[in-house]
Amino acid sequence: MKTSKILLADDHQLFREGLELIVSEIDNCSVAGSVKDGINVISFLESHELPDLLLMDLQMPNMDGKATLEVVKKRFPMLKVIIVSMYNNPSIVRSLINSGANGYLLKNADKVEFRMAIDKVLNGGRYFSSEITESLAFPSSDESPELKNVLSEREIEIVQLIAQGLSSQQVADKLFISVRTVETHRKNILSKLNLNNVAGLIRLAFQQGLIS
């Protein structure tokens, strides 16, 4: 029987080591590699035999899970991806599903659920934690994600500057980064929050007290 290769991606080494133990206990599964962020995910996929499954954290530095997922599904469409996160937010999950995620697990799931999810996705199915399924079926009146939980400190800083009416060039000058970097941050911020424009972003930031 074919052994399924699983790539792990999370910026916390201790959590990755826990995932390695879980995978090692699953029959016909092995760890293909273990990396700390999305940039290393892409680098690994470009330089190694394509694994069968990517088990990836949503919040990672340099290149987060959402941005990585979009690149992976475009360049390696056969690779199955399960996102692992602490956030039980329907709008985030729907955005990830639209980007091609094959599953979504909460980080507080036990190893039995992790094994169940891995087995189901490897066999062509999809798996979402029961809490996620319930949230998708019965959404609350306010599905807006908490920006401070979803965005990095730099991204929040950029949101606050954009809300002040600063152009990308002005934001770049203030933060001593390139305009291209600012534009990339803007795109990633909107993508993470499943928003279509800056107006919606500013409104959300105002509602959550990040700007006044």
What domains, with CATH codes, occur in the chain?
4-137 (3.40.50.2300), 147-207 (1.10.10.10)
Using 50, 70 and 90 to split pLDDT, how confident is the model at 195? Answer: confident
| pLDDT score of 32 more than 80 | yes
**pLDDT at position 98:** 86
Helix (H/G/I), strand (E/B), else coil: 173: helix
Q: Which two three-digit tokens encode residue 59?
A: 């919040």
**pLDDT at position 141:** 47
Residue from 32, 179, 106 nearest 40 by CA? 32
| pLDDT score of 207 more than 90 | no
**pLDDT at position 140:** 52
| pLDDT score of 175 more than 50 | yes
| Stated pTM of the model | 0.70
Residue entry with tokens 């016909």 = 28
